[in-house]
Amino acid sequence: MKYFGSGRSGAFDWFFQRVSGIVLLVTLFLHFYVMHFAIEGPITYEKVMVRLSSPGWKALDIVFLIFAVYHAVNGFKLIIDDYVHSTVLRAVTIGLLWVMGIAFLTIGIMTIVNLRVQS
């Protein structure tokens, strides 16, 4: 318990933050282009469903979502590592981060996958 959470070196986290960052630059630019230039006018259910009914877009969106949530959670973890030193507070904040990350990842994937069923 003394060295709670310090069993890993963090080298993978460091490296993959850069890899996911580059992936996000590409996917986010595509996301931006599709939502603001490929679509005319306000975004509506119908316009979103046109794309999201195709398995290719669904797969791409899920990959995008996973990379984005990973990058965000890893970033928050980095900040916790920098500022939160007490063992108890680290356990609470990192635990909360895991719960939030998994919860929002699940909500996001369910949103993308469930679309056809709901329409």
Tell whether residue 21 is a contact of other proteins (CB under 8 A): yes
How many residues comprise the chain? 119
Tell whether residue 100 is a contact of other proteins (CB under 8 A): yes
Tell whether residue 107 is a contact of other proteins (CB under 8 A): yes
DSSP 91-118: HHHHHHHHHHHHHHHHHHHHHHHTHHHH
- Taking the C-alpha atoms of residue 52 and residue 92, their distance in angstroms, rounded to an integer, is 37
- Choosing from 1, 22, 66, 102, the residue that interacts with other proteins (CB under 8 A) is 22
Element at 90 (helix H, strand E)? helix 87-113
Enter the DSSP assignment of 34. I
- 13 vs 104, beta carbon nearer other proteins: 104
Near other proteins in 32-91, by CB under 8 A: 42-46, 48, 52, 65, 68-69, 72-73, 75-76, 79, 85, 87
Angle subtended at Cα 87 by Cα 98 and Cα 4, rounded to the nearest 5 degrees? 70
Q: Which residues bind other proteins (CB under 8 A)?
A: 2-3, 6, 18, 21-22, 24-25, 28, 42-46, 48, 52, 65, 68-69, 72-73, 75-76, 79, 85, 87, 100, 104, 107-108, 110-111, 114-115, 118-119
